[in-house]
Amino acid sequence: MGFFRLEPTARSSWRLAVLMGANTRTYKFALGTALLDVAAEGRSEILLRDLAVPYAMGLVRRLGQAPQVSSNVKIGELDFLSVAEREAAKSLSLGHPTEELLAAAIQSMPRMVMKKFHNLRSEGVEVPHRFYEVTGSSRERVVRLSEHLRDIARSEQAASLLGELSARWSIVETSFAAGIGQSLILDGVAVDMTTLQITDRQQRRPVAGVTDAVLGFQHGLCLICAEPLTPGLDDIAVDHVFPYSFMKLLHPGPHGAAPDLDAIWNLAPAHRSCNSQKSNRPPTREEMTRLAQRNESIMRSPRPLRRTLELTLQRNGHAARPGVWFTFIQRVHGLL
């Protein structure tokens, strides 16, 4: 996969697992957050029952806000999510999981989410790095955290990875919601340029920040200088790769309207200083390549971000499939 070849590191494997896997539930995001937090302390192992605490609490905190399972999935009485729903209010008031919730988490984690975390979308294919192994006896399971996990959890991009997880989690749970979920999946997302939030087209409700939603697909790097972009440390701007002022210069293509420059395909996080220096110049060849690569990665991720880019391609007369972004971006450049 191109995404991994461009940066063949444990961090790219992590992003493949979190950003590109298909989702019918959100367990993966709760597990990923708990793993990053624990590994950031430098630990090499943790009892499953201890890891289950932040995992279960992460889920019950979200349960009240949005569905954590696709409406296509039927869940039974004994399903972990049913237990979590029953035990959510009490666990939240206690500040830790109830005995019943903890027991259900310890039982379901090794069988479900921990088994699937490393999987890519195609059956039987795993990401190139492993982040943990479950060992120990059935009486007391132990989770060994790999050096790869500790490295990424303590790297300069750790804050980005947590932000990406949370944004992906919000996007996926919104796509599970009745009503707006369907429109999100069919119509893709819109961008509110005032707040720099991704919104659903129907109700214009904020779903996630543009930066958190797309930064992982550009490997956490500034689109202009290709150096790391660290939320909380760097001042970050969302760059119009083709400047917005070009809108009026763009000649309509054979398909009528000129491409919309205020849309996800043309928006990329960058250092604020790089963004101000760039000002209104057209993108360089390198910037166009990075943008095309970033968009190709999104095209290989699940909907609705992918859907948004497919619609851009379709509306401009291109086939809505991976492999087209280099051509499309060259063509936009040619319209100037």
Which token pair is 21? 């896997």
- Contact call for residues 20 and 302 (beta carbons, < 8 A): yes
In 3D space, the residue among 329, 228, 317 whose CA is nearest the CA of residue 270 turns out to be 228
Interacting span for Zn ion (CB under 5 A) from 32-40, 55-63, 164-172, 266-274: 266-274
Does 222 help bind Zn ion (rule: CB under 5 A)?
yes
Asked if 272 interacts with Zn ion (CB under 5 A), we say no
Binding mask 103-122 for Zn ion (x = CB under 5 A): --------------------
Token pair for 63: 């349960």
The one among 168, 271, 290, 307 contacting Zn ion by CB under 5 A: 271
Binding range to Zn ion, per CB under 5 A, among 15-23, 49-57, 220-228, 314-322: 220-228
Stretch that binds Zn ion, among 79-87, 116-124, 223-231, 251-259 (CB under 5 A): 223-231
CB 275 to Zn ion: min, Å: 8
Burial-class residue 86 by CB neighbours within 10 Å (0-12, 13-18, 19+): middle
Window of 148-156, 157-165, 170-178, 216-224 that interacts with Zn ion by CB under 5 A: 216-224
By rule CB under 5 A, what count of residues binds Zn ion?
A: 5
- Alpha-carbon distance 44 to 266, whole Å? 41
Which residue from 53, 59, 60, 274 is in contact with Zn ion, where contact means CB under 5 A? 274
How many Å apart are CA 188 and CA 208, to the nearest integer?
Answer: 13
In the structure encoding, which two tokens stand for residue 5, read together?
Answer: 């070849």
Q: Which of 6, 40, 47, 225 binds Zn ion (CB under 5 A)?
A: 225
Cβ nearer to Zn ion, comparing 222 with 332: 222
Query: Minimum distance from CB of 236 to Zn ion (Å)?
Result: 9
Structure tokens at 68: 């954590």
R_g of the chain, CA atoms, integer Å? 21
Cα–Cα distance measured from residue 298 to residue 333, given in angstroms and rounded to the nearest whole number: 21
Site residues, Zn ion (CB under 5 A): 222, 224-225, 271, 274
